[in-house]
Amino acid sequence: MAFVNMSFGIRTCGTASTARDCASLRRTRPTRRPCHWSCKPPGAGAHRSVNNFETTPTPHGERRLKPLAPKKLALTAALLLCAPFAQAQQAAAPADTAAYVPGGRIPQLQGGIAIDGKLDDAAWANALVQEIAYDIQPGDNTPAPAKTTVRIGYTADAIYFAFHATDPDPSQIRAHLRDRDAAFNDDWVGVFMDTFNDNRRGYELIVNPYGVQADLIRDETNTNNQEDASWDGLWESAGQLTAEGYDVEIRIPFSTLRFPTGGGEQTWGISLFRNWPRDKRHQLTSHKVPRDSNCFQCEWGKYQGMAGAQQGRNLEIVPTLTMGKPQFRDAAGESWKSGDSSIEPGLDVSWAPSPAMTLNATINPDFSQVETDQLQLDVNNSFALFYQEKRPFFLEGADYFTSQFDVLYTRQIADPDFGARVTGRNGGNTYGAILARDAAPQVLIPGTQGSRFRALDEKANVAVARYRHDISNDFSLGAIGTFRQGDDYANNVAGADARWRKGAHTVTAQFLHSQSEYPAAIVDLYKNDLGNDATPSGDAWRTQYSFSNRNWNFDAWHEEIDPGFRADLGFIGMVGYDKSLLGGQRMWYRDGKAFERISLYADWDVTHRFDGQLLEREFEAQVGVNGPMQSFMRLHGMTRVAYWKGRLFDERYADLNANFRPNGKLQLGAYLQSGTMIDRDANKTGHRTMVELYGNANIGRGLAMDWDVIRQRMTRDGGTAFTATVVNAGGSWQFDPRQRLRLTLQGSEVERNQALYAQTINQTARDWAAQVVYSYKINPRTALYTGASYGAFMDDDNPDLFGNTRSVFLKLSYGWQP
């Protein structure tokens, strides 16, 4: 279903690989920070991490919304109706924050509760009452600046939460109609649950004042991406603005959650959370979080109850139907040629035979994606671009398969005929497995100085297995294997890993071994510094030590990958090297000041090729400040020696990244870079400048706009070698929580000066594309998408811009629970 992924032949990549992150070819990992600093994942409203430094949220802005003043008679009636509940809240809520200790026994509710955002159901009267009492960011466990009372109870089939969020100035509440997982910059409340009470994996469910949902999986063992917004659970929520703030009700069926089997009383770790974004982005919790903690989940309150929790049949069947029609032409003025019309039915089945295990199967799956990837410049870059996974079958449960090396990159399973997956937990054991038959596999051809994708012209069977055993809360051992087999092709990877954490100290290690066999067409592509062995094999290993407390972070790691190592189901584009890094960070907190946090970071790393040749030696340092209007500014400098095509070059540059929110409706950001860099096509150095302007704006309750414009320029030898520009822009109109219209515009232009290059080059390349998508979502499983796309390009052989692709599509899915 290639026409649904409307990339129009443009080189694209996932949002994790923005121009700022790809400004150099470094492949370092971020410095570990106390995990409670960030409550949302990059790309979903949380903190952008740029070269080991944290910035403020960037996607989808905020607005300040003044609630409509109700008529006096209606307000009086509402107060009389809710008076018993309000009095019970006032009587039961903790009065002394200093003496407040979260946790307790969650009672079984008596009577029904309608999830409508109105906290007037009689069943709430006997619920457990808790308070979101602490400001953990930017405060240091100081009293919360806004009061939030939470009630918790359960029935035989679900757990319920009611949030009563008051505000000193309700007119400042920020709330918008948004798509799922897109309201992180609003005011919101949420519940985070560690249902196995093991400080490993948790659920995060979030609701804004209009009832818009967001849900994430939290993985404390994954230092690179602890929060993953790809999981979409089935649960209910509703919210409403009130005269004094807003109220939210949540119902989470036990069938949506995984927890220990047995039917007895449960003990869960729970964090009750509120996001209060004003001049500073305040993160409020029901429990204290010491700034020297490197495990947010370890600080959650402990709650007992849920005895006899029932998951029901927990069987879900989702038939899908995708239809589309593409058209194309090779030159301007030619008639449009129609591609094959496509009508593709599919079926997904999910079944949880126990609360701790999930089985998924799919036949003729619709593995298309509805919206385009983020467009990225592919200029002066020798490594393959990373595309973010967006297909639901692979996104759900993806955290079960993570490891220190990226040995599973599911977009390598491009067009499977079928797929099956099992994930589960039993005591201290966590496991996952995937089986699939891929009709269009591809191979990432790695090297020491570049990588690229190539299609494998045969079908392949795929198997993936992951297992982890938690010996204690501090120590775990794991194993992972990926296997892909074709007619005259094979790639097998297997290895073990370990993780130990105690206080501020964390140690991780992983060892992998691979054996491969390639057809002649692939072997011919290996004629580089790695040779052209048809049956390569090799090892990869990595070890890392991290230290993190209130004011200091420290990282030391080393990794080696043999020239013959291949992980064709992963994303490891560089092999045949060893690399070491030492880095550290110092934090200063200035509670109550305009600029409340200052950070200084520096690291040194060195990389050698397998034969001892120096590939890179680098030193970098940066300072960052968090200030008023949710602002962040980072000044960064780097100097390095880099090897390219037989020579060592000196590179150095400085860059500045800054963004802020002048009000709740607008975010503005800029990135500036200037310095001496390699022009890889010319094998020379020049002066490169880069400017990026990005931001987002909110217009009214449901309209939003976003933009990201990047321009690069390389000058050398008395002239301009190249200029390159990329534009990503779009807008959305959320009519109501279910309906959304999204328009995306993307374009790029590259101009090169032939006089400054020895070889013949394409002097001008330009393309642009547009996509419009309408969606109607009843829930994550039952939805309708329909849309159209149009794309155009030009190059030296086609000097005039002309439309060359266009398509329409319709996608339907229905979630049925018998």
Please give the Cα distance from 625 to 278 (Å, whole number): 17
Half-sphere exposure of 661 (CA within 13 A, CB side): 28
Whether 644 contacts 683, CB under 8 Å: yes
Could you give the count of Cα atoms lying within 13 Å of 769 in the half-sphere of its Cβ?
Answer: 25
> What pLDDT digit, counting tens, does each position of 742-801 carry?
999 999 999 999 999 999 999 999 999 999 999 999 998 899 999 999 999 999 888 889
The pLDDT value recorded for residue 311 is 79
Q: Give the pLDDT of residue 377.
A: 58
Q: Which fold has domain 72-305?
A: Immunoglobulin-like (2.60.40)
Q: pLDDT (tens digit, 9 = 90+) per residue, 30-59?
A: 222 222 222 322 333 332 222 332 333 322
Report which of 217, 197, 215 is spatially closest to residue 400, judged by C-alpha positions: 217
DSSP class of 49: B
Helix (H) or strand (E) holding 522: helix 520-523
Beta bridge partners of 218: 202, 227
User: What b/e string do you get for 88-105 counting C-beta neighbours within 10 Å, with b at 16 or more?
Assistant: bbeeebbeeeeebebbee
pLDDT of residue 413: 86
Note if the bond before 138 is cis, omega within 30 degrees. Answer: yes
Specify the pLDDT at position 640. Answer: 97
pLDDT at 367: 55
Question: Listing from the earlier edge strand, what are the strands of the sheet with 245-253?
Answer: 128-131, 148-154, 158-166, 245-253, 236-242
* Residue tagged 């092709």 (tokens): 489
Going 437 to 441 to 447 to 452, the CA torsion angle's sign is negative
Structure-block tokens of residue 272: 């009750």
Burial 771-781 (b: 16+ CB within 10 A, else e): bebebebeebb
Residue 49: phi and psi, rounded to 5, are: -105, 115
DSSP letter for 60, please: S
Distance separating alpha carbons of residues 269 and 818, to the nearest angstrom:
31
Rg (CA), the chain: 27
Low-confidence ranges of the chain (pLDDT < 70): 1-99, 366-380, 387, 390, 392, 526-530
Burial bucket for residue 575 (CB in 10 Å: 0-12, 13-18, 19+) = buried
Angle at alpha carbon of residue 128, lines to 304 and 134, rounded to 5°: 95
**Amino acid in position 53:** F
3-class SS shares of the chain: helix, strand, coil, % to 5: 10, 50, 40
pLDDT of res. 97? 56
pLDDT value of position 121: 95
DSSP assignment letter at 17: S
Please identify which residue in the block is written with the tokens 């799956």: 365
- The full set of domain ranges for the chain reads 72-305
> In this predicted structure, what is the pLDDT of residue 51?
30
Within 8 A by CB and 6+ apart from 274, the residues are: 132, 144, 146, 148, 163, 165, 187, 188, 189, 190, 283, 284, 285
CA distance 541 to 495: 9
What is the model's pLDDT at position 372?
A: 57
Which token pair is 645? Answer: 């095509």
Nearest to 509 by CA among 551, 475, 542, 558: 542
Helices (H), 358-405: 392-395
CB atoms closer than 10 angstroms to residue 612: 7
Given this model, what pLDDT does residue 86 score? 38
**392-431: per-residue pLDDT in tens?**
677 777 888 989 999 998 888 888 888 899 999 888 899 9
Diameter of the chain measured on Cα atoms? 83
- Which of 412, 455, 417, 457 lies closest to 436, judged by CA? 417
pLDDT of residue 9: 27
pLDDT at 729: 96
